[in-house]
Amino acid sequence: MEYDVIIVGAGLAGLACARAVHRRKKSFILLEAEEQPGGRVRTDREQGFLLDRGFQVLQTAYPEAQKTLDYQRLDLRSYPSGIVIRANDRFHTIADPRRHPSQLLATATSPIGSVRDRYLVLKLAIAVRGVTLPDIFQEEEQPTIDFLEQWGFSHQFIQQFFQPFFAGACLDPEIRASSRVLKYIMRMFAAGDVAVPAKGMGQIAAQLAAELPQENIRYVSRVTSITNGSVTLQYGTTLHARMIVLATPLPMVKELLKTVSEPAEPAPQARSPLGETCLYFNAGEWRPPSKIPFLILNGEGQGPVNNLAFPSLIAPDYAPNNETLVAVVSLRNETSPELENQIREQLASWFGTEVNHWQLLRTMHIPYGLPNQEPPTANPYQLPLSYDTRIRICGEYRSLPSIQWALLSGRKTGEIICDEL
Ligand SMILES: Cc1cc2nc3c(=O)[nH]c(=O)nc-3n(C[C@H](O)[C@H](O)[C@H](O)COP(=O)(O)OP(=O)(O)OC[C@H]3O[C@@H](n4cnc5c(N)ncnc54)[C@H](O)[C@@H]3O)c2cc1C
């Protein structure tokens, strides 16, 4: 049998592509190497806790997520609007005073950033609000660190705020990602909430997968090679289709393209993988000092912790019995026991020796989280439309990483190939 479309990879890009193809009534099969859909957006259950595959959030302002997902059924729970920065041996709150008036004084008197830095943040936020998202990706780009220095942000503010913020959002502590990415992220933060589904980020993928006929998704089906019209699975089965869509992470796209005798298209620039290690702790009945569970950034410029959050304090299903789940992100790409000890040591200096009683639930080492997003970056609104071959690619390969771009590139690819078929 020849399908209209074979989609390789049931992450968000592959699911969005399958959804578009299914809606246009083309025959398709979605092949996924793992036992579940979602790829990087998945949630594991452990001892009654919900552990996302690395700390991650949904920006409710993502236009493609708004279009694609049913937010109400996801039962989104938002983090408070603001952050806490750990610097100079203290916690400093910077919160949106409209939503958290009780934090007005703390925000106004916080020593994070000079008056000029705050003015520049406001100026940048206004500038970014005045441009559409597609226009942002047409603008000149440069590494964000150069952009921030040119704008005149102080070295101290870059180190205390932008560095851990960018490291959390782009796994990029050097702040080398494109200035377009900075503007996009700032716009998303300003325009919506930072949220998680009540029952874990994996619900996003589950919602998309539930829209597809289950017989059209084959799990534990790793594709090992492709041709211009067929794919071969790990155990030797070959499937045929008029169009093949690769919706795998960038390194796997490159690997699979090597198996085609004639490459479908030239490879994009080499992009180094950026990873993280996320440690999940059960802190029992312990609660953070701030009554409002803000995300915390490490502005100390040292130590293994980059950022941490308390998912169960905004979405109680993340932990059983009123216990507290702590998600700690380190950009040290390792899982050694020393890393756990060093993290406990740093957090004990922040919260007290109670941290030594926290139970480690899981250390998730994610060597490939995202590709680096240094300039030159692709414009995620410009998908290549047509080639001579029957192979198409969606996901971050010719776009950018993020839930927004995975959903957009998947849908657009699905729609375009249905027009082509
Ligand atoms: C730790 C972490 C935190 C993140 N935080 C955020 C965040 O807060 N907000 C945000 O917007 N984005 C975040 N991202 C990025 C976002 O999750 C990804 O950009 C997006 O999910 C990528 O989706 P995708 O479908 O392109 O790829 P993937 O999710 O990687 O899906 C690809 C799928 O292909 C499958 N596959 C691979 N090889 C094969 C093969 N040979 N045969 C068959 N199947 C195969 C994989 O198993 C996988 O299911 C984060 C990513 C990570 C890792």
CA dihedral 164, 168, 172, 177 (to 10 degrees): -100
The Cα 375–Cα 251 span in angstroms is 19
The Cα 347–Cα 298 span in angstroms is 10
The Cα 110–Cα 299 span in angstroms is 13
Residues 6+ apart with CB under 8 A from 96: 81, 82
Helix (H) and strand (E) counts in the chain: 15, 19
Q: How far is the CA of 410 from the centre of ligand 1 (A)?
A: 12
Give the residue carrying structure tokens 């049913």: 70
pLDDT of residue 266: 64
Q: How far is the CA of 323 from the centre of ligand 1 (A)?
A: 29
Q: Tell which atom from ligand 1 comes closest to the C-alpha of 255.
A: 41
Give the residue carrying structure tokens 């990029």: 172
Beta-strand runs (E) in 198-321: 217-218, 223-227, 230-233, 238-246, 273-282, 295-298, 305-309
Q: Tell which atom from ligand 1 comes closest to the C-alpha of 403.
A: 11
Q: How far is the CA of 82 from the centre of ligand 1 (A)?
A: 27
For 166-181, b/e burial (b = at least 16 CB within 10 A) is bbbbbbbeebbbbbbb
Q: Is the peptide bond before 376 cis (omega within 30 degrees of 0)?
A: yes
The Cα 396–Cα 408 span in angstroms is 11
Nearest CA to ligand 1 atom 14: 402
Pocket residues: Cβ below 6 A from ligand 1: 8-14, 31-34, 39-41, 54, 56-57, 222-223, 247-249, 252, 276, 366, 369-370, 395-396, 401-403, 406
Superfamily of domain 2-41+202-270+384-420: FAD/NAD(P)-binding domain (3.50.50.60)
In this structure, what DSSP letter does residue 252 have?
H
**Quick check: 238 and 114 in contact, CB under 8 A?**
no
For 243-263, b/e burial (b = at least 16 CB within 10 A) is bbbbbbbbebbbebbeeeeee
The Cα 55–Cα 148 span in angstroms is 26
For 369-391, b/e burial (b = at least 16 CB within 10 A) is bbbbbbbebbebbebeeeeebbb
Burial class (CB in 10 A: 0-12, 13-18, 19+), 343: buried
How far CA 417 is from CA of 8, 211, 314, in Å, comes to 15, 20, 41
Q: What is the CA radius of gyration of the chain?
A: 22
Fold topology of 43-110+193-200+272-372 = Polyamine Oxidase; Chain A, domain 2 (3.90.660)
Q: How far is the CA of 357 from the centre of ligand 1 (A)?
A: 33
Token readout for 377 is: 């970056």
The residues pairing with 393 across neighbouring beta strands, listed in sequence order, are: 246
Q: How far is the CA of 315 from the centre of ligand 1 (A)?
A: 23
pLDDT of residue 324: 97
**Quick check: 103 and 217 in contact, CB under 8 A?**
no
Alpha helical stretches, state H, 297-374 = 311-314, 337-351
- Taking the chain, what is the end-to-end CA distance rounded to the nearest angstrom? 16
| pLDDT means over runs of 10, the chain (421 residues) | 96 98 98 98 97 97 98 97 92 78 70 87 89 94 97 95 94 95 94 96 98 98 94 95 95 89 66 94 94 93 96 98 95 87 97 96 95 94 74 92 97 94 90
